[in-house]
Amino acid sequence: GKQGTRAAMEADSTTVPFEELYERLEKKPLGEGTYGEVFKARNTRTQEIVALKRIKLDQEEEGMPSTAIREISLLKELSHPNVVKLLDVYCANASSKKLYLVFEMVDMDLKRYVKTKGSLDAATCKSFALQLLEGVECCHTKRILHRDLKPQNLLISTKSNPPALKIADFGLARAFLTPVPKYTHEVVTVWYRSPEILLGSTLYSVPVDIWSCGAIIAEMATLSPLFPGDSEIDTIFRIFRKLGTPTEQEWKGVHALPDMKQSFPKWQHRGWEKIPRMHEIFGPLGISVIADMLKYDPKERISARRALQHPYFVGQ
Ligand code: ADP
Ligand code: MG
């Protein structure tokens, strides 16, 4: 029917049809990403300003898979100060190619925040790193992976001091089964992707998000991405050039991965001291925890929980 059905019925939101409940405020989207466009909108009942994400499925697809809708609806239960709150989920009907996700509205993303500030000081970098890891830790505890952590998915609310960091899109990748949906026109960045995914591993888990955290946190100091490859193989080689080509000794089983080749050049670790601004922003303790997040072997990579206990965060 025209009124549609909510994925998970809620007593307080069933009276007004979705199309009338959320009024789009600007024609121009706030952003366009992997999963579709994001619009600024207002809840006409509560006057709350929200971010309305419209996900479009590929023409060939059957409609929205019910598993995806169920999966996403579960994310409404997720509530943490460092995770963008999913407020509502709406799909017109089973054959619909459009899914609407309603999120809390956050001022800007980290990319734009850094652009407006020019750079981030040591205290802000530590605060953002801490908040990022707290959000990640909460989701990992619930066995929810992000799989696409990147600065555009970290939103900054400047209403508080220090500014609040909130992670967007947690759990969406799994709902859609592929991290890169077919319907995207945007070039998907692989700069924050972990080496095990880049080398073709299909059995991966929470450490993939920790790798992304390490690369994002380091970039808060360097102000330019660590591994800005224009393809997966280019990204792998950029990682190897900075961190050294992994050996069996530091990553047992690396040569069994589908896309790892014995013939790859054998680079040496360049050393964090040579990377601009890392030392002045993070000091030896900060560099140590970032290096633990960028360990090649996923089993040896630090967990979010242990990272939060690291002396860099615990000390004074
Ligand atoms: P991607 O798939 O690349 O992560 P998104 O579709 O999630 O892209 O979002 C694109 C852009 O829209 C983000 O980089 C951000 O600037 C903006 N955006 C997304 N969610 C929100 C939100 N909850 N509040 C404000 N802006 C948002
Ligand atoms: Mg996003």
Per-residue pLDDT tens digits for 211-235: 999 999 999 999 999 999 999 999 9
- H-assigned helices in the chain: 18-21, 66-74, 110-117, 122-141, 172-175, 195-198, 207-222, 232-243, 278-293, 304-308, 311-314
Q: Which residue has the higher pLDDT, 177 or 284?
A: 284
Q: Which two tokens stand for residue 221?
A: 């100091």
Q: Is the CB of 31 under 6 A from ligand 1?
A: yes
Residue 178 pLDDT > 80, yes or no?
Answer: no
Round to whole Å and give the CA distance between 20 and 16: 7
Q: What is the largest CA-CA distance in the chain?
A: 64
> pTM of the predicted model, to two decimals?
0.91
Question: Which 3 state secondary structure label does DSSP give 33?
Answer: strand
The CA–CA distances, whole Å, from 90 to 5, 50, 52, 93, 181 equal 7, 14, 11, 9, 19
Round to whole Å and give the CA distance between 226 and 207: 18
Q: Is the CB of 82 under 6 A from ligand 1?
A: no
Q: Which two tokens stand for residue 258?
A: 């589908």
Residue 111 pLDDT > 60, yes or no?
Answer: yes
- pLDDT tens by residue, 88-106: 999 877 777 788 999 999 9
**Closest C-alpha to 87, from 34, 8, 175:** 8
The one-letter amino acid code at 2 reads K
| Sign of the dihedral defined by the CA atoms of residues 78, 203, 59, 37, in that order | positive
The rounded mean pLDDT for the chain is: 89
pLDDT computed for residue 252 by the predictor: 97
Contact, 252 vs 305, CB < 8 A? no
Contact, 197 vs 208, CB < 8 A? yes
For 249, half-sphere exposure in the C-beta direction (CA atoms, 13 angstrom radius) is 2
pLDDT computed for residue 289 by the predictor: 98
pLDDT computed for residue 95 by the predictor: 74
Q: Is the CB of 149 under 6 A from ligand 1?
A: no
Q: Is the CB of 106 under 6 A from ligand 1?
A: yes
Alpha-carbon dihedral angle through residues 247, 214, 120, 313, given to the nearest 10 degrees: -110
Residue with tokens 């939103």, as numbered in its chain: 155
Is-catalytic flag, 148? yes
Confidence of residue 236 (pLDDT cuts 50, 70, 90): very high
Q: How much distance in Å is there from the Cα of 240 to the middle of ligand 1?
A: 30
- Please enumerate in sequence order all residues whose Cβ is within 8 A of that of 309, keeping only pairs 6 or more positions apart, or say none: none
pLDDT computed for residue 130 by the predictor: 98
pLDDT computed for residue 67 by the predictor: 80
Residue 294 pLDDT > 70, yes or no?
Answer: yes
The residue whose C-alpha atom lies closest to atom 1 belonging to ligand 1 is 33
**Closest C-alpha to 267, from 242, 250, 303:** 242
The residue whose C-alpha atom lies closest to atom 17 belonging to ligand 1 is 31
Contact, 116 vs 134, CB < 8 A? no
pLDDT computed for residue 151 by the predictor: 96
Residue 150 Cα: closest atom of ligand 1: 4
Residue 187 pLDDT > 80, yes or no?
Answer: no
**Span 140-158, average pLDDT:** 95
Contact, 48 vs 131, CB < 8 A? no
Percent of the chain with pLDDT over 90: 74
**Span 14-30, average pLDDT:** 88
Question: Given 88, 148, 209, 292, which residue is catalytic?
Answer: 148
Q: Is the CB of 176 under 6 A from ligand 1?
A: no
**Closest C-alpha to 210, from 306, 114, 284:** 306
Q: How much distance in Å is there from the Cα of 252 to the middle of ligand 2?
A: 33
